[in-house]
Amino acid sequence: MTLPVFLIDALPSGSSAVLDGPEGRHAATVRRLRAGEEVVLADGSGEQVRCVIESVAKDSLALTVVRRWTEPEPAPRVVLAQALVKGDRGELAVELATEAGVDAVVPWRASRCVAKWDDGPRGAKALARWRSTAREAAKQARRARVPHVAEPVSTAQLARLAADAAATLVLHESATTRLTALTQPASGDVLLVVGPEGGITPDEIGALVSAGAHAVRLGPTVLRASTAAAVALGALGVLTDRWA
Strands 38-42 and 47-56: antiparallel
Per residue in 163-174, pLDDT (tens digit) is 999 999 999 998
Report pLDDT for 153.
Answer: 97
Q: Is the pLDDT of residue 112 over 90?
A: yes
Report pLDDT for 228.
Answer: 96
Report pLDDT for 120.
Answer: 87
Confidence of residue 1 (pLDDT cuts 50, 70, 90): low
- What DSSP letter does each residue of 103-157 carry, written as one string? SEEEEE--TT-SS---SSHHHHHHHHHHHHHHHHHHHHTT-SBPPEE---B-HHH
- pTM of the entire predicted model: 0.92
Distance (Å) of CA 133 to CA 127, 180, 210 = 10, 30, 33
Question: What are the chain's domains?
Answer: 5-70 (2.40.240.20), 77-239 (3.40.1280.10)
Report pLDDT for 220.
Answer: 87
Report pLDDT for 87.
Answer: 83
Percent of the chain whose predicted confidence (pLDDT) is above 90: 90
Per residue in 181-205, pLDDT (tens digit) is 999 999 999 999 999 998 999 999 9
Residue 27: closest CA among 69, 64, 63: 63
Residue 90: closest CA among 172, 165, 149, 156: 149
Q: Could you tell me if 102 and 151 are in contact, meaning their C-beta atoms sit under 8 angstroms apart?
A: no
